Every structure is written in C-alpha cells, then in structure tokens.
C-alpha cells in the first residue's frame, strides 16, 4: 500500500503543477471574496454561507475536470499499459487516483476555510469561534465526501468511456442537471420524495455548498462513493486496456 500512497502523492503533485488548478482557485477566490464583501457590508442580505457557496461553485467544476483527467489522460496519451504493469495492481492504481483527488479537494477546502476565517474576523458582529471552527471542520468533511463520491463516479465512467471529454460531460449532467430532473420526478411521484435525499446525484451539490451533512446526505455521499468505487474496480479489473 505504501507504493499506492506514493503514487497518489505523485498524482496530486502532477495535478498541482497544472496552471488550470490555480486558475480555478483564483476564480473561486474572486467569487468568494465578492461574497465576503457583500457579507461584511450587507449582513442583512448576505451571510457566511454565501461566501462558502460562491467558492464551492467553481470548486465543483475544478473537481469535475481533474476527475475526468485522472484516468482520461492516461487513456488519451496511451500510458495505461506502463501504469498498470509497473508492480501495482489495477485496484491500487485506481485507489491512488482517487486519493490524489481527495488531496485536491482538501486543498480547495483549506483555501475556502482561510477566506471564511478572514471574513469572520473582519465582520462587525461578535464571532462565536467554537461555531466557526466547527463550520470549518464540516467544510473539509463536505469537500472530502463530495470528491469521494464524484471521483469514484468519474473513474467508473472513464473505465467505460476511455475519454476525458466524455467523463466530464457525464459528470456535469449527472451532478448538475440530474438534480433538477429528479426533483421534477419527485413532484409527480409522491412516493419518490422519501428516496430523493438518499440519491447522490441530488444531494452532492448541496453537500459541498451548504455542508449541513445530515444523515441522509452522509449516507447518499458515502454510500454512493463506495458503490461507484466498487463497480469501477470490478469493471477495471475485467477490461482489456490495450
């Protein structure tokens, strides 16, 4: 497993060497700072949740892109054969890819937390530091759960599509558009409403944006992530990658 951990760190460093990550973080920071300005000067209309939400909107797209690139680039540049034949099992390679995405999500969460801390310090009202630190802990957990679910799903899709572009499109549809469709179905089918909170495609964006992390959200994200990861590993180990 130490080789898998080492590979996951190398994969993470490879991600962090790409300028696109920093462009995404910069855009997310600009949006979040804009929300912070509104929260400081117009606290009756904007709260801290808006600051975190603005940052997470861009963070979702960053996570989609690098989830799609994680295995997609290996298929694109024909590096899958050396990758899967250098002493690591396919399972360990897949796990290392997912771990690198979790490191990325934690990086995004830390930046969001720093903006939140600075904003909380500047805001005129008295700060409840216990609540603030509890909120920051929930943010980090929310980002990790979100990326575990989305990353596992994206890797599963890439195992079938062999394509970064196709994986990105499927992730966008599944986690951004599917929620609206599921809510429309729930309006028509009353019995479906009780199931809706446990469907990952419906709850994912709410988890990373508002990080309330109630029981149904935790089950949907962790359960969905485990399901997608297990399916991805099963199909990856059966596929001919030549």
Match 């929620």 to its residue by tokens. Answer: 179
Q: What is the mean pLDDT of the chain?
A: 89
Any idea which of 18-32, 48-62, 124-138 has the lowest mean pLDDT?
124-138
- Sketch the domain layout of the chain as residue ranges: 2-238
The predicted model scores a pTM of 0.92
What are 193-228's pLDDT values in tens digits?
A: 889 999 999 999 999 998 878 999 999 999 999 999
Query: Is-contact 52 116, C-beta < 8 A?
Result: yes
Which residue, among 145, 219, 204, 137, has the nearest Cα to 171 in the 3D structure?
204
**Stretch 148-177: mean pLDDT, rounded?**
95
The one-character DSSP state at 221 is H
Query: Is the distance from CB of 72 to CB of 118 less than 8 angstroms?
Result: no
Check residue 124 and give its pLDDT: 66
pLDDT in tens, 72-123: 888 887 777 677 666 678 898 899 999 999 999 999 999 999 998 888 888 7
Task: Give buried/exposed letters for 123-159 (b at 16+ CB in 10 A, else e).
Answer: beeeeeeeebeebbebbbbbbbbbbbbbbbbbbbbbb
* C-alpha to C-alpha distance for 200 and 145, rounded to whole angstroms: 11
Distances (CA, A) of 7 to 13, 98, 99: 10, 11, 9
The residue among 190, 123, 116, 176 whose CA lies nearest residue 146 is 176
Residue 130 has pLDDT above 70, yes or no: yes
């Amino acid at each position: 497993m130490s080789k898998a951990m080492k590979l996951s760190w190398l994969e993470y460093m490879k991600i962090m060497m790409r300028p696109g990550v920093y462009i995404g973080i910069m855009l997310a920071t600009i949006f979040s700072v804009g929300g912070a300005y509104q929260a400081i000067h117009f606290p009756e209309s904007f709260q801290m949740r808006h600051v975190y939400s603005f940052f997470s909107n861009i963070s979702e797209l960053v996570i989609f892109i690098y989830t799609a690139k994680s295995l997609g680039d290996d298929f694109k540049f024909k590096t899958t054969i050396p990758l899967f034949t250098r002493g690591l099992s396919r399972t360990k390679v897949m796990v290392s890819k997912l771990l690198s995405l979790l490191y990325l999500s934690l990086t995004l969460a830390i930046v969001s937390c720093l903006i939140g801390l600075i904003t909380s310090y500047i805001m005129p009202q008295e700060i409840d530091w216990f609540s603030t630190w509890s909120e920051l802990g929930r943010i980090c957990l929310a980002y990790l759960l979100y990326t575990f679910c989305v990353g596992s799903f994206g890797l599963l899709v890439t195992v079938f599509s062999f394509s970064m572009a196709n994986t990105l499109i499927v992730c966008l549809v599944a986690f951004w558009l599917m929620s609206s469709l599921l809510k429309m179905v729930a309006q028509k089918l009353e019995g479906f409403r009780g199931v809706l909170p446990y469907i990952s495609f419906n709850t994912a964006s709410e988890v990373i944006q508002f990080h309330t992390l109630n029981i149904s959200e935790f089950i949907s994200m962790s359960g969905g992530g485990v399901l997608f990861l297990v399916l991805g590993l099963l199909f990856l180990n059966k596929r001919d990658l030549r």
